[in-house]
Chain A
Amino acid sequence: AQSVTQLDSQVPVFEEAPVELRCNYSSSVSVYLFWYVQYPNQGLQLLLKYLSGSTLVKGINGFEAEFNKSQTSFHLRKPSVHISDTAEYFCAVTPSNSNSGYALNFGKGTSLLVTP
């Protein structure tokens, strides 16, 4: 089974400052990793995903994440945040070799609050 730990439940940051949202995972098999964002009163949407290849993955809205297999981490970063980035961010994992389905295991989420 796979699990995800998001180390910070809330991250307050000032506008235009850099931010890192931390995610660690646990799995006995190789995995795919995802970051989803949930804006207030909306469903989740994909920010980025790591499948294979380059460990640095770029996503939408200026976000990027780096896969670190040795540290089993997939931290999300943005060099300069905007007020509109205020949202809940979810890290998720799924086994890469599953023949039975594609269910995602989500972390508990990190609430990013950007203030002026």
Chain B
Amino acid sequence: DARVTQTPRHKVTEMGQEVTMRCQPILGHNTVFWYRQTMMQGLELLAYFRNRAPLDDSGMPKDRFSAEMPDATLATLKIQPSEPRDSAVYFCASGLGQAGGEETQYFGPGTRLLVL
């Protein structure tokens, strides 16, 4: 049963620390998405990649967030320095990259981040 995996599942850190979240997309999927979920804003798209190239990261605060795909099996989302307002659940999703947006996105279980 192929699944998207995310590590860590939970992270508690102090303001100013660097946070790195990792995602392993389903093998063979060529699109990867990062979402942030908060009570106030709901689900927000931060960035997405196709064939490891960033297509859109306009939803991401550029001064502190960065997203990369070092290879096809790993996507990372980094926050440096972290702030309390970054506390949220961060989801990674992957898809087959079907033309026109009809693809199903498969979500990982999320990383629950708390910045004190």
Contacts and interface: CB of A to CB of B under 8 A. Distances in A.
A110 to B, nearest CB: 11
A36 B101 CA distance: 15
Contacts of A95: 101
B48 A96 contact: no
Contacts of A45: 106-107
A90 B103 contact: no
Contact of B100 (A36, A90, A96, A108): A96
Chain B residues touching A, range = 20 to 34
A86 B33 CA distance: 26
Interface size, A (range): 20 to 34
B31 to A, nearest CB: 6
B79 to A, nearest CB: 20
A98 interface: yes
Contacts of B50: 101
A51 interface: yes
A97 interface: yes
Contact of A43 (B4, B55, B97, B102): B4
B104 interface: yes
A98 B100 contact: yes
Given A100-B56, A102-B31, A94 B42 contact: no
B114 to A, nearest CB: 15
A95 B95 CA distance: 16
Interface of B: 4, 31, 33, 42-43, 45, 48, 50, 55-56, 91, 93, 95, 97-98, 100-110
18 contacts: A32-B100, A32-B102, A36-B107, A43-B4, A43-B93, A43-B110, A44-B91, A44-B105, A49-B102, A49-B104, A51-B102, A96-B101, A100-B55, A100-B56, A101-B50, A101-B56, A103-B33, A104-B105
